[in-house]
Amino acid sequence: MNVRDRAVQVDIGLGAVFAAALAFQAYRIAQSWGGGHWVFGCAAGAVVSVIALVRRRERCWTAVAGLAVAVVAILAARFGGLPREPSPAMALALAVLVSSAVRALPARQAVAVAGGGLAVATGALAVFAGAAVAVLNALAWAAAVAAGLWPRYLAGRRRAAADRVRRDERLRLARELHDIVAHHITGIILQAQAAQVLARRRPEEVEGSLAGIEAVGAGALAATRRVVGLLREAAPGTAVHGPLSELVERFDGAEITARLPTGDPGWPPEVAGTVYRVVQESLTNIARHATAARSVSVSVAEDDSLITIEVTDDAPKPARSRAARRAGYGLIGMRERLEALGGTLHAGPGDVSGWSVVATLPLRGPR
């Protein structure tokens, strides 16, 4: 089940709750004011309920619209002689709108919406007198703000953890790129010095030495391009399938088999970015340390709100086990990023040959 499916299920459940609350309110109004008054008494609650069900399209303006309808309903009940029965449907719908806005909007807009919700709750008390209504409005507003602030706090912690891991990875990658380039340049310098000696003593052998310099330089260029290409980060907000496909296509040196999501799976940005980084780091380690691998397999699958990423190669065990010791920083970075989002990572030798990286990551979409 993906994020969109869960969102649809949540909205269906909310719609059923709103309908039940509106039916209860209509019954109360019909009992107290007569049969025909329930239409006017329930109209505002019904409108705010519909607005709450489409809140994801524009969280700020749906919250403002819901609060505006509530203010009009309160004023109409106060000065227009309309039914003054409390509206549990409207109170619940406003709570949903305020919670959604507090969770997802920038800080200033979230504070403004929360303040508007408090003003509406206070205004309702002036019209719908009674301790029960006071408790209902106070609890609805407080629960809405708390329900929005808690996931906002958790999301901030996840972003901070991801930023910390990203900074650490950049330092690690800078060190590794330095080692790669320094190794090849050292070889070029040594062969150039040897060519100078040959030019004085055995000029006929200079051509072979120059060919060696060319080969080392070409190898350095290819290694640098391969590492930098694999380490290129995906642009924020892009669909995960495009970057993953391009990442797999850029990989060379072994035959690669990939099973990737088709289209845009609708994952949250932090989840999509982590999936990309796990595949990226795994292929990078293969490109650096498993040059003897003849085939590579990449699988990214979603099942029951859990994403499973698996990257394997068939490099001979002795060579791959030595390389694994050099890949420790990458594994630590991947593990920290996954654990920050509630995921897991297992990496080690395959059953027969090669190396296997298996990561799991739970989906955390907006509610």
Residue spans of the domains in the chain: they are 3-155, 237-367
Which stretches of the chain are DSSP H helices?
Answer: 3-33, 38-53, 59-79, 88-104, 107-127, 131-201, 206-231, 241-250, 269-289, 317-326, 328-340
Q: What is the pLDDT of residue 130?
A: 55
CA distances to 86, 280, 287, 349 from 319, rounded to whole Å, are: 73, 21, 13, 11
Q: What is the pLDDT of residue 154?
A: 85
CB-side neighbour CA atoms (13 Å) of 45: 28
Q: Write the CB contacts of 152 (distance below 8 Å, at least 6 apart in sequence).
A: 102, 103, 104, 110
Dihedral pair phi/psi, residue 20, rounded to 5° = -65, -40
CATH of 237-367, picked from 3.40.190.10, 3.30.565.10, 1.10.150.670, 3.30.365.10, is 3.30.565.10
To 5 degrees, how large is the angle CA 329–CA 242–CA 227?
A: 35
Q: Write the CB contacts of 248 (distance below 8 Å, at least 6 apart in sequence).
A: 256, 258, 260, 279, 283, 298
| Nearest to 348, CA basis, from 319, 326, 320 | 320
Per-residue model confidence as pLDDT tens digits over 268-311:
767 887 888 889 888 888 877 777 778 889 999 988 789 999 99
Tokens of 297: 């397999």
- d(CA 342, CA 236) in angstroms, rounded, equals 21
Residue segments in the chain with a per-residue pLDDT below the cut of 70: 1-7, 29-41, 80-86, 122-137, 166, 169-170, 172-178, 180, 219, 222-242, 253, 269, 317-331, 364-367
CB-side neighbour CA atoms (13 Å) of 288: 27
pTM of the model: 0.45
Tokens of 34: 């007569």
Q: Write the CB contacts of 266 (distance below 8 Å, at least 6 apart in sequence).
A: 2, 3, 4, 365
Q: What is the pLDDT of residue 325?
A: 42
Tokens of 259: 């099973």
- d(CA 233, CA 230) in angstroms, rounded, equals 8
Q: What is the pLDDT of residue 326?
A: 43
Q: What is the pLDDT of residue 234?
A: 44
- d(CA 364, CA 367) in angstroms, rounded, equals 9
DSSP character at residue 265: -
- d(CA 301, CA 175) in angstroms, rounded, equals 33
